[in-house]
Chains A and B, each alone.
Chain A
């Protein structure tokens, strides 16, 4: 089974980040706030990914109205855990 980790929660003002090993990098954002924020969240996630250097990963972010720094922290925590699980 593909390596996969989650972080965060579905509580209000939080987000649940799921990272799954994949052939290429992709980002999917489902958000309860206005669509306008979707593109903003996507670029925030892509930027954070770029900084981490992790590739070939599918990021799913289920956003319950989280602020930028929450999303960034959740994603960084998930990425750290993902890297720890390197041996599967």
Chain B
């Protein structure tokens, strides 16, 4: 038995072909891939993208013969060396026990997908976050925003929600896959909301991800898979965040454009029922304001063109040194979102 690092393009091709028979794809964001060989034949493979375990497969003739554990041990150790100690995996319910045996614990399970972690504990993490940010025990409302970057649309959502519930938690998606870095998005929101009573701004933590970045590494029926991820995300929020932070309403903006966001909102409605309130979007000159519109305008026409769509805090950031660099990068890149 021989465990190797997959680095060469032709080795990756072999992995791609291997994964295909399991209806798994090899995603672009994968940064580590290990392959297990027995007598020069590929028996099993496992990958990771940042802190998410992906594309794990064992040749059918070799399943249940102890190949998965040495392979996963090697991957876990490799990630540990890189300082990645809190791992996640999205897997099919029938494979949950395999991961539990590797020290993973369940976060949530839906009918089609399970979400597990290793090296962390969601309940303990949220409780210490609640105490660190001095969140009250009273019933309250909540929004989860990526704010990439913060627009007047977000402010409208927050103000409408705040007026409705009196006390609001604003979770900012921590995952750093958006165009504007988390630290900057968070700082802008804190500044923009500084004068509002009853608002607490918190990082979303590692558990809520931006629905736009749901991993979609199961190639089969990709649309359904994305819906499965949305279900997992909503259930994580419902079973853990709403419970620990005593949240009784989640507010979201109505979605006029993206079909994916629409699906996501529909999923939330299904699982949260009356605990979800959809707020009409703020329009400016009959156009709904969205962060993606702002990014498009920024890319095309520069900072001044977006001034009327964003709060002062965002505008100031965009004019700052790091903001200018981000806009330049935006212009020269085709960011995913």
A residues contacting B by CB (< 8 A) are: 1, 4, 6, 8-12, 16, 18, 30, 32, 62, 64
Contacts and interface: CB of A to CB of B under 8 A. Distances in A.
A16 B79 CA distance: 14
A4 B77 CA distance: 11
A79 to B, nearest CB: 16
Contact of A9 (B70, B80, B83, B101): B70
B103 A62 contact: yes
Given A30-B103, A32-B101, A62-B103, A6 B80 contact: yes
Contacts, number: 35
Given A6-B77, A16-B76, A18-B80, A11 B102 contact: no
Nearest to B118: A62
B160 interface: no
A72 B271 CA distance: 49
Contacts of B322: none
Contacts of B66: 11-12
- The 4 A-B pairs at the shortest CB distance, nearest first, are namely A9-B73, A10-B73, A10-B69, A62-B103
Contact of A4 (B76, B85, B103): B85
Nearest to A18: B80
B80 A10 contact: no
Contacts of B83: 1
Contact of B76 (A10, A11, A32, A64): A10
A16 B103 contact: yes
A4 to B, nearest CB: 7
B85 A10 contact: no
B192 interface: no
Interface in B94-111: 101-103
